[in-house]
Amino acid sequence: MNKDNINIGIVSKGRLKNFTENLLRKRKLKIFSERGERYLFGKIKGKSNIRVLFLHAREIIEQLSIGNLDIGISGYDLLKESEINIQKKINLVKRLPFGYANLVLAVREENIDLFTTLDLDEVADEFRKKNKTLVRIGTKYPNLTRSFLYERGVTNFQIVKSLGATELMPVIGTAEFISDITSSGQTLKANKLRVLNDGEILKSQACIFTSKINHKKKGLKNLVKLLSK
């Protein structure tokens, strides 16, 4: 890879990909791929020094932190979930008007006695006394969930890391409660889950990030300016 090239990371699939491509198109940055749509490497028409890499949203954050990407469009939630040494190497340039979602704490709807994190704490204590084990919270966001619960004094729990379909965890018995990202709340509702009254962990949206590693690349400043217009 030519070290003078500017590398932009965008999400490889889903709604975030479409929104990001629209944003680039509006800025007259047309992405094209030499080997068809499934090829995960693109270019910008008329800008031979810019490369577009289609990556997983989490991967974009990682690659920004090591300087393989100069610009990345990904979720705010993923930046905040990443380790502190990763966060330190990334600038948040602009919050974009799409990709809105909330990270929330949810319980099965039968838990009618659970209104707030205070209830969760009490139930977690009772659970530990009764079952001699800690209550499990399934999530793809262990760091954010942990610090949110610590701040509210909830400590009697263990995190079970989820790799997908977190909403299923309370149903199949791999976790008692979950924290998950939701935009409309429909998936949670469909899976008979409800959000605690004070269970909003983080408000997230898509953002433009830049790496702090190679910030002096030629043309980078102008490109960032154009994207964040």
Partner 1 sequence: MKSKNYNKVFNILKRKYFRYIELDPVIESKFILQRSGENFKKYLFSFYNSDGQELSLRPDLTISSVIRYAQSKSNKKEKVFYTGSAFRKSYNQKNVVIRQIGMEIFSSKNENIDDKEIIDTSLKILKSSRYRNSKLNIGNFKLFELLINKLQIPQRWKQRLIKFFWNEKYFSELLKRLESNLDIDPVAVAGDKKMYSKMIKLNQKKIINGRSYKEIIKRFESKINDPRQSETGKKSAKIIKEFLKIKCSLNNAPNILNKFFKKYDLNIFVNKDFFPIKNLKIKDTKFEFSTSIGRGREVEFYNSLIFSLDVKKKNKFVNLISGGRFDELTSKYLGLKKVPAVGAAVNLSNYE
The contact set with partner 1 (CB under 8 A) reads: 107-113, 115, 118, 121-124, 126-128, 130-132, 134-135, 146, 149-153, 155-159, 170, 173, 176-177, 197
Provide CB contacts within 8 A for 140, sequence distance 6+: 161, 162, 163, 164, 166, 180, 181
Ramachandran angles phi, psi of 162, nearest 5°: -105, 145
Distance from C-alpha of 56 to C-alpha of 46, rounded to nearest angstrom: 26
Separation of alpha carbons 182 and 204, rounded Å: 10
Q: How far is CA 183 from CA 38, 61, 93, 98, 149, in A?
A: 27, 21, 23, 11, 21
Q: How far is the CB of 92 from partner 1 (least distance, A)?
A: 24
Task: Write down the least CB distance from residue 155 to partner 1, Å.
Answer: 4
CB of 204 to partner 1, least distance (A): 23
Closer Cβ to partner 1, 101 or 135, answer by number: 135
Q: Which is nearer to partner 1, 175 or 220 (CB)?
A: 175
Closest approach, Cβ 79 to partner 1, in A, equals 20
Comparing CB distances to partner 1, the nearer of 37 and 113 is 113
CA distance 221 to 6: 10
Structure tokens at 70: 């100069």
CB of 47 to partner 1, least distance (A): 44
Q: Given the complex with partner 1, which of 1 and 84 has the nearer CB atom?
A: 84
Sheet architecture: strand order including 157-161: 157-161, 135-139, 177-182, 101-108, 193-204
CA distance linking residue 17 with residue 98, whole number of Å: 11
> Is the CB of 36 or the CB of 173 nearer to partner 1?
173
User: Closest separation between CB of residue 162 and partner 1, Å?
Assistant: 15
Considering beta carbons, is residue 54 or 157 the nearer one to partner 1? Answer: 157
CA dihedral 224, 7, 87, 22 (to 10 degrees): 60
